[in-house]
Amino acid sequence: MAADAAAAVSGPAITLAHRHVFGLKADVKNNIHYAEETQLIYPAGTNAILWAADQKRQDFFQGNEGAEGITCLAVNATKRYLAVAEKCYEGAIVSIFDLVLKKKRKTLSWRESDAPEFVCVAFSADNKYLLTQTGRSPSEKHNWTLIYWVWDKARYMASIKVSNPDNAPIRECSFNPTDSSVVCVIGDGIFKFLQLKDGLKPLPVAPAKLQSFMCHTWLSDDKMLVCCENGDLMLFDNGGEFQMVLPTSPGDPRSATCSVSFSKGFVIGGDDGFIRVYEKSDDPKEVYRNTKSIQLEGGNIGTGVRSLALSPSEELLAVTTSTAQLLQLSLLGQDLLKADEAPTFEPVLTPFHHGAILGMDVCVRKPLVVTCGADKSVRVWNYVEKTCELCKFFNEEAYSVAFHPSGFHLIIGFSDKLRLMNLLMEDLRTYKDIPIKACRECRFSNGGQYFAAVNTNNTNNIQVYKTYTCELIDTLRGHNNKVKSVAWTADDSMLVSTGADGAVYEYNVMAEGRKSSNDFVLKGTAFTSVIVYTDPATGGNTMYVVGTDKMLREVCGGQAQNIVQANTTLGQIVLSNSAKSLFAAVAEPDAPAPIRCYKFPLDGYFNEFSCHSAPATRLRVTYDDYFLFSCAEDGCLFVFDVKKKDRVVSKRDKESALQPADEILVTRTFLDDKQGQLIELERQVDELSNQQEFQLRSRDGDHKNEMVELETKYTAEIDQEGQKYNLLREEKNDADMEFEENIKSLAELHAKQTQDLEGSFQNKMMLEVSRYQKLAAERDRTHAYWEQEHRQLMAKHQQKVAELQREFADRKASDEAAITRIEEEKKLAEDVHNETMRQLEQDTDREIEELKEDKEARLKAEKDDKVRLRGQAGIYKRNHEELKTQMQRKEDELRQYQEDARKKEDKIQILQRERDHNVKEIRQRDATIGDKEGKIYDLKKQNQELEKFKFVLDFKIKDLKAQIDPKNDMISEMKKQIQAMDADLEDYHRKNTQLQVNIVQLQSKQKSLQEDIVSQRKKMTDCQTVIKRFKTDLHECVQFIQEPKQLKEGVTALYKKYVPNGVKKQELDSDIQREYNRQREYLEKSVDSLKKKLLKDSDVHRQDNTRILQENVSLIREINELRREIDFLKRERQQQKLHVSKLKGATTKGASQSAPQADTAATQREMEGNKTRIDELKKKIEEQMSLRETYLRQTSASVQSDQEQATAAAAGSSS
């Protein structure tokens, strides 16, 4: 940042802070995104802007130092992180910003690539990975390279060139939303799917025909939309397989250059200026239909759509155009589908300039800034309220503009003349034309009584006029090339100018424009801007000038007193009114234009602040030094807060400060028109109020007549429905009696079978006890026999040990030679072991990935179930709302339905928690796998140590194995059979238990239904009692039929007694009644079918229970036999082990002990593996049973809800 740090002891007393920017950088890919419902992200200059509409505040994300500008933007799925790609000739850069903390998280750059820019950036759906697509590289080694990042760790994972041999451009890249390892790339004749698997590998997919693809988007139904240059919309599935070309495609060239998806479909925009909204269609041939087409800006030619973004609620659509405008459209149904008028686009902030801003000036008395640009418009901005006060387009291009200090007058230099204009409330009105063509520079004096205009056509003269009389005072001559800048001294007595001829002249306006002795000429340099500073102590004028020589010169007395090396071309300079800082704007061609803040007097030290992406054209500061303004060829107007380190504003200073003027200019004609409009609007309001009163009176009469007709009609229908309800109640009572008899018979049969099984089991247990006693006696006899055999073997063992000791001494020498050979073999074995370990690690990683894919598939299935459950909940809720409109009097029953809906939502939340628990369990299993791998590594180390004794004990182990292996094989086979039978037995026990639980649940449900029926009967009895009382009271009231007064009192008493809360009127038509009858018939049929289904299921369950009990008996018998055989085999194996131990010598005593231990350890490991497998099988069985229980609960819940609906419908008909 510092240009000459050695020359500066301290920094400038003034610094800058971004306040606001008016403008948009339109050539950025995906240059509009939503962060929240009221927050938009877009680029302006070299910064990314976060606009908070509710707070009217902008947050700036500044680019990297040395970058050449922003090329594309991307926001992740959670709207938390922003990726900003910047062009840099040393290598493209991507910066990741945290939108919540407003801080930079990471900066990504691939040092191996020399590509200067990224043309597209995309986040993965899980927010872990990032895709960057490079453009052309100078060395052509990394042309159109796709790079796959783990952005949180700034780690590069894979890259691949994705273009064709012709180096066709790539336009977009993205992740598959369901699989982050699959990415998609499209471009000019390029359509590729790639998968991250040992690098990025292409997948074998291709469209029906390769053509120029413009954009693509992933739809909500796991499909992908690809837009072609010829206007075709192609539909692909999630794996990249081509499905069809939509028949509703626009078909016009470049009519679909950008797209965005939403829950109901997608939106596309093109260079033809049309926004087209597509929604899902029920027609399978059409798939998507075009519901609305809207044109931008009234159909201006050349206005195209650059980017689209949808708000999180999908209610607002943000659009950026090729004319650098940021617009917003409401997508609500009532706003979008109005047939009377087309939807209108509203500017998000204000309309911006399109193209370069050529002139700018600031007002002294009002918080206003005026600009003019290449788009032939003049705009007046309010920098305090951050709005555009006035915008007017002209037929000619405006090159320069000046603001009068009062804020009432403007000077605008057009291509044909110089115009003096009054700034009215809603218009600019010309009051004087001066014949100066293409005036590139004009300035009001500080007091506003004069203005100077440059005539650059032939003479390059400067003409000075009086503001209020437009009288020419002086014509200042001297420049022989175009004049670039003019400036007034503080007392308006002198005028300073500079131009492309390298001259700086000072004119005395009060002395007929004579030149002073302070003129300065530097041939070969073109100056672009000049300012003048008057020393209050001496009254001398010092000029500061910049030009193409990359110098900032201080000119005093015709000589350059101080020269500051800028090392870049400075285009504009301005001095703060406090004379503590000098601001300069960089104007390098085709390069960003930051703002520099120099300490004044000049010592070479400066701070630099990034803003524009193109050379700056104007720079201004407010009279109180609170704000700095800069504009450039990129069409942006930046507003900076000027912050002084030593600025302390007291309360007295604030009160004594001159407040901004709020006066405006209006014409007499304007006031007369407004008064006439006000009178006309008052007359229209009176007419509308009279019409509404008449319409209300006529509607009240019609409603009363309709109410009388409806009351008579629905009274008759309610009587008919009451009779039908009585018939249904009798049928229901008969069905209840049948259900009770069937359940009693099932309970008696089950109790009898249980008693029989208990008796048979007791008999078998007595037999097994007696058999166990016999086997125990036989075991004691066998133990005594083997004790004797053991003593004999020990004696033989002593003799054998002596012989082995002698043999050992002889073989020791030969063993030493063998040891050296074994060590060499050991090294070879270690190499083989290391290679084996590497392969095992690879296999383990592959198995882990397969398990992960399997779990993800199961998780996806659970998500589908959740969506289905939500759909069912929505259906029940809609049915509930329809019944609510028809049965308003049944408020208590409606509360019951709402309680049911809340329970279903709780059930969905429980399922979501189960899903989270499953994910946690998967992670725990992954950790367990890691622990087991560590144990395997330790066991392999122990295996290496045991192999040292292998060669010594090999021949004895072979003899022992020859005797033991047949028995081990038999034992292992028997164990497998036992385990299989144990698993089957546990399965049968579990099924039996589950069926019993189901029976209990069904009984409890039946009991609850009976209680509901009793409560309904009680309600009906109460209603009949009330009706009888009402009939009695009515009969007593009828006795006064001949006495009107007593009759009226009796009717009033009846009304107060039986209608305490008044009568709720409801309006029903014939369509609602028909729908009600159809629903009731459907529910009656549903109840009948569910009754039949329940009977059938109960028979099937009774048969299954009988069959399972019989199978359990046979399996228990087989298990007892297998246990007896296992005990026999164990004893036989123990005897064999004792016999083998007696045959071993003293020298091989340790080996003889280690061999059975190893065999025992292997057996234990085998048993543990079998137990683990059994546990896994048990878990699978429990999962299947839980799924079955869930299905049964859902079935029973649906049956119960259908019965409740039928009961409610019948109750409604009776009422």
20: left (phi over 0), alpha (psi -120 to 50) or beta: beta
Q: Among 842-851, 1174-1183, 1187-1196, where is mean pLDDT lowest?
A: 1187-1196
Both structure tokens of 20: 């606001």
Q: Among 311-315, 380-384, 726-730, 1066-1070, where is mean pLDDT lowest?
A: 1066-1070
Distance CA 601, CA 1186 (A): 83
Q: How far is CA 634 from CA 587, 856, 970, 1011, 1023, in A?
A: 12, 48, 88, 78, 81
Given a contact cutoff of 8 angstroms between Cβ atoms, the answer to whether 729 and 1213 are in contact is: no
Return the higher-pLDDT residue of 826 and 382: 382
Q: Among 34-38, 513-517, 758-762, 1080-1084, where is mean pLDDT lowest?
A: 513-517
pLDDT of residue 1064: 53
Both structure tokens of 1020: 């009906």
DSSP assignment of 928-958, as one string?
HHHHHHHHHHHHHHHHHHHGGGHHHHHHHHH
Report whether pLDDT(905) > 60.
yes
**Strand-pair partners of 156:** 149
C-alpha dihedral (371, 377, 380, 382), degrees to nearest 10? -90
pLDDT of residue 174: 95
Report whether pLDDT(9) > 70.
no
Report whether pLDDT(1056) > 60.
yes
Once rounded to an integer, what is the mean pLDDT over residues 1015-1027?
A: 86
Query: Which residues, in sequence order, are CB contacts of 701 under 8 Å at separation 6+?
Result: none
Distance CA 547, CA 553 (A): 9
Once rounded to an integer, what is the mean pLDDT over residues 766-771?
A: 82
pLDDT of residue 176: 92
Using DSSP's 3-state secondary structure scheme, residue 847 falls into: helix
Both structure tokens of 537: 């102590």
Closest CA to 186 of 216, 166, 207: 216
Once rounded to an integer, what is the mean pLDDT over residues 291-312?
A: 82
Once rounded to an integer, what is the mean pLDDT over residues 402-411?
A: 94
Distance CA 1123, CA 979 (A): 11
pLDDT tens digits, 230-245: 999 999 988 888 889 9
Q: Among 627-636, 872-881, 1028-1037, where is mean pLDDT lowest?
A: 872-881
Distance CA 1207, CA 1213 (A): 10
CB count within 10 Å of CB 723 equals 10
pLDDT of residue 1033: 83
Closest CA to 239 of 217, 221, 223, 216: 223
Once rounded to an integer, what is the mean pLDDT over residues 139-161?
A: 90
Question: pLDDT class for 1213, splitting at 50, 70, 90?
Answer: very low
Closest CA to 127 of 83, 191, 64, 167: 83
DSSP assignment of 368-397, as one string?
EEEEEETTSEEEEEETTTTEEEEEEE-SS-
Once rounded to an integer, what is the mean pLDDT over residues 447-452?
A: 93
pLDDT of residue 1013: 87
pLDDT of residue 1178: 66
Q: How far is CA 822 from CA 315, 669, 811, 836, 949, in A?
A: 79, 115, 16, 20, 11
- Give per-residue burial for 642-680: e unless 16+ CB within 10 Å, then b: bebeeeeeeeeeeeeeeeeeeeeeeeeeeeeeeeeeeee
Both structure tokens of 613: 């992406």
Report whether pLDDT(711) > 80.
yes
Most confident of 413-422, 782-791, 918-927, 975-984: 413-422
Mean pLDDT in the chain? 83
pLDDT of residue 283: 85
Return the higher-pLDDT residue of 1083 and 417: 417
Closest CA to 616 of 631, 637, 596, 638: 631
Q: In what order do the strands lie in the sheet with 442-444?
A: 442-444, 450-455, 461-466, 472-476
- Phi, psi angles (nearest 5°) of residue 43: -95, 145
CB count within 10 Å of CB 1150 equals 12
pLDDT of residue 108: 92
pLDDT of residue 765: 81
> Positive or negative CA dihedral for 1202, 1204, 1207, 1209?
negative
pLDDT tens digits, 670-690: 888 888 888 898 888 888 888
Once rounded to an integer, what is the mean pLDDT over residues 586-615?
A: 90
How many residues are there in the chain? 1215
Question: pLDDT class for 450, splitting at 50, 70, 90?
Answer: very high
β-pairing, 606-612 with 520-521? unpaired
Report whether pLDDT(1156) > 50.
no
Q: Among 91-105, 182-196, 989-1003, where is mean pLDDT lowest?
A: 989-1003
pLDDT of residue 2: 39
Q: Is the peptide bond before 601 cis (omega within 30 degrees of 0)?
A: yes
Percent share of the chain, pLDDT over 90: 32
DSSP assignment of 750-801, as one string?
HHHHHHHHHHHHHHHHHHHHHHHHHHHHHHHHHHHHHHHHHHHHHHHHHHHH
Report whether pLDDT(1141) > 70.
no
pLDDT of residue 1180: 65
